[in-house]
Amino acid sequence: MDWNKDRSVRLTAVFVFLFAAALLSADVLGFIWIPWFISVTAIDKTHLPALAATVYTGSVFAWICLCAMFRLLRSIRDGDVFTEQNARLLRVISWCCAGACIVFLVSVLYYPPFIIIATAAGFMMMIVRVVKNIIQQAAGMKSELDLTV
């Protein structure tokens, strides 16, 4: 198969789109699956509003991340990879991961296994921040290189 950079970007866009569709379904069908989740886990029924708050607050961060990812993919497709704008988008994603980490860390109070999601989000925040620092440094170098004759 003749695999190239454009196809890889398109595949990533498809994954992001599928995730957005899944998230939309989860948001719309929350009134069905959140009570079901409570029934299959050890969460007390009185924590239903808290779980809904966790899910929907986390969803807000996820939507912001997805929008940033779509914009990132669009600029990568256009060939603008090392730009300040992309570094800003990565910063937004990293702060969203931090936000999700805090939300799930608080949610550990009523459902301890959420510590796994909080840890994953915190770890993801660190990875994205490192990538953001790399892109920021590269953007500076690129602007200098662009003005080298």
Partner 1 sequence: MKIIVNLDVMMARRKISAGDLAERIGITPANLSVLKTGKAKAIRFSTLMALCHELRCQPGDILEYSEEEED
Q: How far apart are CA 53 and CA 58, in angstroms?
A: 8
144 is an interface residue for partner 1 by CB under 8 A:
yes
| Piece in contact with partner 1 (CB under 8 A), picked from 21-29, 63-71, 126-134, 141-149 | 141-149
* Degrees to nearest 5, angle at CA 133 with 6 and 74: 25
Q: How far apart are CA 145 and CA 149, in angstroms?
A: 8
147 is an interface residue for partner 1 by CB under 8 A:
yes
x-or-dash pattern for partner 1, window 88-127, by CB under 8 A? ----------------------------------------
82 is an interface residue for partner 1 by CB under 8 A:
no
- Nearest alpha carbon to residue 64 among 99, 27, 29: 99
Q: Which is nearer to partner 1, 126 or 145 (CB)?
A: 145
